[in-house]
């Protein structure tokens, strides 16, 4: 499981996928999220702009990223 440290109060879901190297671009993030392939805290998430905070876990394509403060 990868971790991403927050620099601010939150980070958006699309940014997490890019920062974690799970997608190559914001456009790719948009499509995998719209297609229902991404989970946040074990539930499918369809909002690319979903604000994630410390403790949230993102899952995509067999990979997981935990958000830390």
Q: For the chain, which residues make up each domain, given as ranges?
A: 2-68
**What whole-number distance in Å separates Cα of residue 2 and Cα of residue 19?**
10
Query: Taking a C-beta distance cutoff of 8 angstroms, is the pair 31, 67 a contact?
Result: no
Q: How confident is the model at residue 54 (pLDDT cuts 50, 70, 90)?
A: very high
How much is the pLDDT for 4?
A: 96
Q: How large a percentage of the chain has pLDDT more than 70?
A: 100
Mean pLDDT of the chain: 96
Pick the CATH number of 2-68 from 3.30.365.10, 2.60.40.2550, 3.10.290.10, 3.40.50.720: 3.10.290.10
Residues 5-34 have a mean pLDDT of 96
* DSSP 8-state assignment for residue 53: -
How much is the pLDDT for 48?
A: 93
Q: How confident is the model at residue 47 (pLDDT cuts 50, 70, 90)?
A: very high
């Amino acid at each position: 499981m990868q971790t991403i440290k927050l620099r601010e109060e939150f980070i958006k879901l699309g940014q997490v996928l890019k920062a974690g190297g799970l997608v190559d671009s914001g456009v790719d993030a948009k499509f995998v999220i719209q297609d229902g392939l991404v989970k946040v805290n074990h539930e499918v998430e369809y909002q690319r702009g979903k604000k994630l905070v410390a403790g949230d876990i993102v899952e995509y394509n067999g990979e997981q990223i935990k958000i830390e403060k």
